[in-house]
Amino acid sequence: MVGGAFKVRVDTTKCVGAGRCVAQAPTVFDQSEEDGTVVLLTDSPDAALRQAVEKAARLCPAGAITLADA
C-alpha cells in the first residue's frame, strides 16, 4: 500500500558502505563510525518517508535494504 505503515530491514553483512541510503533518508539510515556499514536508526519510519526509503532500497548497490508492510 503506497504511503502506508511499513517496516525496513538492513543486512549489514551485504552492505558496502556506498552511503546512498544516508543521502536519501538521513533520519532512517546512518553509517557506523567503526566500519562505515549501515546503521538503522528506526525500523518503523513515518509513513511519509516511504518513498525516500523505497528509493534508498532501489539505489542500494548491494541489495542490503528491504521493506515490508507493517
Partner 1 sequence: MDSQDDIPTDRLPLFPFTRTDPFHPPAEYARARRECPVSPVRLWNRQRAWLLTRLEQVRSVLQDRRFSGEFARPDFPAVTEARVAIDKAERAFVGMDNPRHQHFRRMFTREFSHKRMMALRPRIEAITAGLLDRMAAKGPPADLVEDLAVQLPALVMCELFGSPYEDRTYIMKCAAGRHGMRQSPAEAAQTARDLVDYCRTLIDAKERVPADDMLSRVIAEYVVPGTLSRDELADICAMILRAGHDTTTNMIGAGTLVLFQHPEQLAKLKADPSLVERAVEELLRYVTPVQFAPRRVALEDVELCGQRIRRGDGIFAVGPSANRDADAFPDPDRLDIERDASQHVSFGYGIHQCLGQGLARIELHVAFNALFARFPGLRLAVPLAEVPFKFDSQIFGVYRLPVAW
Contact residues: partner 1, CB under 8 A: 16-20, 22-23, 26, 30-37, 55, 58-59, 61-63
Burial class (CB in 10 A: 0-12, 13-18, 19+), 10: buried
- Please give the grid coordinates belonging to residue 8: 525496513
Q: How far is the CB of 50 from partner 1 (least distance, A)?
A: 16
Judged by beta carbon, residue 16 or residue 70, the one nearer partner 1 is 16
Rg (CA), the chain: 11
Q: How far is the CB of 10 from partner 1 (least distance, A)?
A: 15
